Structure 1
Amino acid sequence: MSTQGRRRRRIMRMALAAGAGGTALLLVLTMCGSDTDSSAADAPSRPTTKSSPAPAAQLAVPPSYATGQRWEIPDASPEQALARASGLLAHLERLPKGRFRMRTLDVSTGQPGWSGHPWQPPTAIDSSVSDAPGGAAAGRFPRLLSVAREGREFFVAWSFGRTSGDHLTSDTFVVLDVYDALSGARRRVELPWSGAPTVSGSGPGILITDGRTRNAVVDPLSGETARVPENALAHPRGCTGCRRLTEVRAVTDKGLLLSGESGFWVKGGWYSRNVAPSGADPASGTPTSVAPGLLLAKWRPAKKRKDARTHEIWAVHDTATGKPIAQTRCHKPAIEPGEFPRAVVSPNGGYLVAGHLAFDLERRKAHCFEQSDGSRQLLLATVGDTGTAYGATSARSVADALAGGGVPVQLEVPRPVPQPLAPQVRIPQFEVAGVGVFSWTDSKDRLHLLGHPRRLP
């Protein structure tokens, strides 16, 4: 046997003796190549996701979750993305030299899934711009979201900045790293962009917008980008107010969802004036939050109603038709919030919560949790497939409730009677596949994610 052949056999014996870790290293070395290649064959890194009988610091969770079983991500990124149909959770791992790697986990089992190749985000130009990461912006991560199109799910890591190290250039880009949720195949899309972008994935496309006239939609299947010119927004006939404060809100299966000063509509489809909920002023609709296939909107009561000055109507609409699915009435707040709570939908699409609102979409019923004077003490943050929702009273915001602020509360949306939990209990960030995902931050300011399955009945 030649010297080269003996050396090759010795290397293989060393790799086999090293076990799974050595095999994973060989796989990584052999798969290195173009960043656009599939990373499904990239071996998962077991040390980043572990399972053990109990967390190092026991976290108090609602009694409906089992404490003796759990999985843990000990150093998670600030944001995670969830592919609900496949039950996969995506998070980012920080690597040396300003690089990141996408990692996945099966929420139901806690087992690691695929992990992507390392990549470099653009260099941030301003720490105040969309929390953009990269370069000198130490401690910042790319943002994460999920999007679904034609039955396929994708994870998207996005960031904004300069794609080269030249700080003198004025060229800035929105950079999207789009992964197939099942295979891990990755595609990078770079779009020239100036000013702070907002990126969302509540529809079948990835929407990039400045909130007004500059908009683009990226197809996650092909990576193709379509700019939306201002003169193509197609305002509804007869709605003069729709031409003021025009904004693209989301991408729907039927087209772009837009809003103006006096209504909202889907381009080429329906118009809010024609789908107002019962008892509402048809010209008063204001969209507040969008979820896949659903829109939460606020309306003023019709002027002739006795509660026109004291109440408002909240409704969940089907984005395909615009028709309301369920609605409820609430007192007007003394001071309008600067930002409305995000709509959170259960994985099976049967329930929706948003702050002081809860909707049972299957039974077409809705509830508003408030005090008689219109103050809103209960804020709901998550809801599961069984209709169990979690939130907190006396919390400053939904984010505060998720971080442990206020008094934790549990309720069943079909039978909406809030039940207080013990003060030390942490509510789940979300629930999917019968597993609640909780977060806590350790003394070294590292974020931990814990998955606790629901107790068997």
Structure 2
Amino acid sequence: MKKLQSVVLAAAVMVALGACDSSRKESAPQPKDGMPSATGQTGPSTPKAEQAQVPPAFDGSKGWAVMQAERLTQPTVAPHSQLVLLLKSYEDGAAFGVEARDASTGAVRWSSAPWKPSERTAEVQADDVKLYVTSKDGKDYAVLVAAVQEGKDAISRGNAIAKASVFPADSSGKNVAPARQVSVPGMGSGAHPHDANGTLAFGNDKEVTIVDVTTGVLSSPQDSRSRDYRLRINGSMNGTFQMTDAWPGQAIVPAGARESSGIESGTSHGVRGGYVVAQWPSKDEAYSGLGLPMNHVWALHDESRGNPVYALPCNGVNESAVGSANRAVLSDNGRYLVTAYTAFDLQAKKGYCFGGTQDTARVDFMGVDNAGTAYGKARTPGGTGIPVSVDIATGSHAELSGVTLPTRVSGDVALYVSTPQNEKDPAADLAHHAVLSVYPKR
């Protein structure tokens, strides 16, 4: 089983999506009418999203949209502010900004002043600019991060430095200036936002630096193998590791999991809401080389101390593999968490296993709303899966026939992200092509 330190090296170069994960895009419905205004501000001319078959809790006739011509990308949710934040790219490719939209209506709440990570365009690649959200004490922060190669020219490759510009999500007005700007030597734009302590973790193959965006203070660089930061760096990806690399002793092995001289391997599937979600082999694991069903224990571990808070048996599972698409997702109110084929109520400390068994199909969850309704697809042999919803309070489920699942469910809205058109294609219609469609709750 792969050690955690090797996972960290991979994690350090991956971009954490605290929000819409572009690797899980659904094709967004396209709007029929409505045009963005010349200034890019919404109002009466806010583009309307096309009527669509969305989950029944949402209204498929009252959505709003962002058109490709508006040059707004990377939709990211500010969970406590009920805002959708977008990265604004200016035509010269040298300046960037943040635009904050009301999640329910699409109205612009605020927009930042253009930000230039460097005065020399050769030092910055537009594709390397990222938008993140982190939160602390119920307050959200939008953070623009750019990878800059200081001193780069025709001959010199320059020195890597990550530059970050921080904006409180409760800002207002136009041309909002950043609350602070931070530079992190030796790093790129790939960062990992924490959902509760207001930090971004930057890493490379040697070290990790934690930035507190609420103060601008940088931690002293830590060795990439430092157990103080391993799990947080791993929080946005899937990775296999020895749980005891991070936490000492048998205390971290959850009830029902198999022990071996006090040391056992667990598999992390995300750090969210102060918990590490991990999959363990069961004591009565039904394992064989013939691929027989297996028994597992899924557990929520305290992020800092490692002790199990809740353990969920998952028995007779015949499809136990968990991939990068099965990321851990937390509801905006912090109460519900889904990952892979499991769903948890963090407040009630209970969960449900929807792994594939002899009698049931596996459900791969993609999101959960504040009411505890989780959404996912029930696997079908050789098919793309059947959309379903699960009420975490009761474990009851419903088939969503004909529904297209959103890219992300956030609070009271469902977001659909669509692939941009090739701007060089003569048939491209950027003014009418929606790169984001958002539908409110009924």
Same fold (TM over 0.5): yes
1:115-151 Cα deviation digits (max 9, x unpaired): 11112346999xxxxxxx944x6xx362222112344
Amino acid at match of 1:233: S
For the Cα contact (< 8 Å) 2:151–2:158, is it kept in 1? no
Q: Could you tell me how far apart the structure 1 residues matched to 2:346 and 2:113 are?
A: 40
Q: Larger relative contact order (C-alpha < 8 A, sep ≥ 6)?
A: 2
Q: 1:218 to 1:333 in 2, by over 3 A?
A: farther
Amino acid at match of 2:87: L
Q: Could you tell me how far apart the structure 2 residues matched to 1:54 and 1:378 are?
A: 34
Q: 1:45 to 1:120 in 2, by over 3 A?
A: farther
Q: 1:344 to 1:124 in 2, by over 3 A?
A: farther
Question: Does residue 58 of structure 2 align to residue 81 of structure 1?
Answer: no
Aligned to 1:162: 149
Aligned to 1:295: 276
Aligned to 2:341: 356
Q: Could you tell me how far apart the structure 1 residues matched to 2:419 and 2:225 are?
A: 46
Q: Secondary structure at the match of 2:74?
A: coil
Q: Could you tell me how far apart the structure 2 residues matched to 1:380 and 1:260 are?
A: 23
Could you tell me how far 1:424 is from its partner in structure 2? Answer: 4.8
Q: Secondary structure at the match of 2:115?
A: coil
For the Cα contact (< 8 Å) 1:289–1:341, is it kept in 2? no
Amino acid at match of 1:110: G
- Structural mapping, 1:112-131, within 5 Å: 112-121=108-117
Amino acid at match of 2:201: L
Q: What's the % identity of the aligned pairs?
A: 24
1:53-99 Cα deviation digits (max 9, x unpaired): 98353222122212343332223644222221221221112212112
For the Cα contact (< 8 Å) 1:272–1:322, is it kept in 2? no
RMSD over aligned CA atoms reads 3.8
Amino acid at match of 1:250: R
2:250 to 237, 257, 273: 273
Amino acid at match of 2:91: P
Q: Could you tell me how far apart the structure 2 residues matched to 1:192 and 1:418 are?
A: 49
Unmatched 5+ residue regions in structure 1? 1-43, 126-132, 236-246, 253-257
1:245-292 Cα deviation digits (max 9, x unpaired): xx723179xxxxx99634253xxxx64731332111352233221113
Aligned to 1:207: 201
Aligned to 1:343: 328
For the Cα contact (< 8 Å) 1:78–1:141, is it kept in 2? no
Could you tell me how far 1:385 is from its partner in structure 2? Answer: 1.1
TM-score, normalized by length of structure 2?
0.71
For the Cα contact (< 8 Å) 1:390–1:410, is it kept in 2? yes
For the Cα contact (< 8 Å) 2:232–2:271, is it kept in 1? yes
Aligned to 1:437: 415
Could you tell me how far 1:313 is from its partner in structure 2? Answer: 1.3
Q: 1:112 to 1:196 in 2, by over 3 A?
A: closer
Q: Could you tell me how far apart the structure 2 residues matched to 1:57 and 1:216 are?
A: 44
Could you tell me how far 1:343 is from its partner in structure 2? Answer: 0.9
For the Cα contact (< 8 Å) 2:257–2:297, is it kept in 1? yes
Question: Does residue 232 of structure 2 align to residue 250 of structure 1?
Answer: yes
Question: Does residue 365 of structure 2 align to residue 380 of structure 1?
Answer: yes
Amino acid at match of 2:134: V
Aligned length: 371
Q: 1:339 to 1:274 in 2, by over 3 A?
A: same
- Structural mapping, 1:386-401, within 5 Å: 386-394=371-379
Aligned to 2:33: none
Q: Could you tell me how far apart the structure 2 residues matched to 1:198 and 1:119 are?
A: 19
Which stretch shows the higher mean deviation, 155-164 or 196-205? 196-205
Aligned to 1:221: 214
Unmatched 5+ residue regions in structure 2? 1-36, 289-293, 422-427
The structure whose Rg is larger is 1
Question: Does residue 133 of structure 2 align to residue 142 of structure 1?
Answer: no
